[in-house]
Structure 1
Amino acid sequence: MFDQLTDLVKQFGGEAVVNNSAVPNEQNDAVMNEASSSILSGLKDMVASGNVSDLAGLLNGQSAIDMNNPVVQELANKVTGNLGEKFGLSNEAAGSVAGGLIPQVLGGLLNKAKDPNQPGFNMSDLVASISGGQGGGLLDMVSSVGSQFGLDQDGDGKVGMSDVTEMVSKKSGGLGGLLGKLFGK
């Protein structure tokens, strides 16, 4: 997922990074790489800390991807802090980069993951990447209550990645339907 995220940061980084006079041109690539890394680690941190309800709202499209979104705010704080620390950018300059990148990158990432014509990357890959692919966090939560909500798609008695893949591949709801059932929406 890091490659897809990095591609999106580069795609949307023109205004927020390259055309930003506060970011020295020789640091453009490094700043974009750090932003990518910070976004991915921020998403993983949210899952690891159990902050899955806000993330679920983002993933299932129930919350806007803007600076009012708690996930976007948390990621912006992480990116801002890391860019300030590693590149000496002022809080204002680093915040400008974060605010210009994160909503666009997350929107692009979710659109890419939901696109059935996008080879090699889908919503189950996104969930696996941010949960560490080991059933932690979001997938543990889904698994622990999944059978109550009819989420055991393959009938093996547990909810795992194969069930998530099955839910994502179905046209009736996909991951949004899965998370909607889980959170009662």
Structure 2
Amino acid sequence: MLDELFNLIKQNGQQAVVENNEVPNEHNEAVMQEAQSSIVDGLSNIKEPDQVNSLFESVQNGQAESNPAVQQISNNFTGNIMQKFGINGSTAASIASAIIPVVLAKMANRGGQGGAGGLDLGGLLGSLTGGRFGGGNLGGSSTSSGGGLGGNLGSMGAKLGLDKDGDGDVDLNDLTKMFK
């Protein structure tokens, strides 16, 4: 699923990153990887069903930029690429606004079509939150940690030895332990 997210970022980051003279060519892929990390981190920090519903509504209504979660993801991404790659503030903000809300909107639209074409925002949220949110259950209630797409992926991953923190599921915490 993360590969699909990165491909979506690459498709939408071509003009904002690759064709941008303010971004040194040697940093193009790293900037797009930073976008992926910012999206994954931001979505995994969503704790309440109301935040999920608000995110979906604003993204699907074309108002993603006004959503606090999207703003937080964009701000984190902007700060990270400024610090890591020396990109100036206005360029970094421009790159963030060209990638983050657009990618989230495309993910949400795919989810509205039953995930047609691959990645959907609900599926990604479900996998990042251990099934608490996503997988079509966005009416304000949450699923148990063992249910939904995230629960299924987590339990399969645990059986494959991917449960690096030993908590019985595979989640973002395990992913970060894999790369330390």
Asked if TM exceeds 0.5, the reply is: yes
Compare CA radii of gyration and give the structure with the larger one: 1
Counterpart pick for 1:56 among 53, 60, 67: 53
Q: Equivalents in 1 of 2:44, 2:115: separation in Å?
A: 26
Q: Summarize the alignment of residues 146-165 of structure 1 with structure 2, pairs less than 5 Å apart.
A: 146=141, 161-162=147-148
Report the counterpart of residue 99 of structure 1 in structure 2: 97
Secondary structure in structure 2 of the residue aligned to 1:89: coil
Q: Equivalents in 2 of 1:38, 1:97: separation in Å?
A: 13
Q: Output the amino acid matched with 1:75.
A: I
Secondary structure in structure 2 of the residue aligned to 1:29: helix
Structure 1 runs not aligned, ≥5 long: 153-157, 166-185
Q: 1:127 to 1:22 in 2, by over 3 A?
A: same
Q: 1:159 to 1:96 in 2, by over 3 A?
A: closer
- 2:34–2:81 CA contact under 8 A, matched in 1: yes
Residue-by-residue CA offset, 1:43-79 (whole Å, 9 max, x unaligned): 112x2xx354233222256654432222221111010
State the number of aligned residues: 146
Structure 2 runs not aligned, ≥5 long: 152-180
Compare relative contact order (CA 8 Å, sep 6+) and give the higher one, 1 or 2: 1
Q: 1:22 to 1:114 in 2, by over 3 A?
A: same
Q: 1:100 to 1:120 in 2, by over 3 A?
A: closer
Q: Which segments of structure 1 move beyond 6 Å, counting only runs of 4 or more?
A: none
Report the counterpart of residue 111 of structure 1 in structure 2: 109
Q: 1:54 to 1:124 in 2, by over 3 A?
A: closer
Q: 1:67 to 1:3 in 2, by over 3 A?
A: same
Counterpart pick for 2:77 among 76, 79, 91: 79
| TM-score, normalised via structure 1 length | 0.64
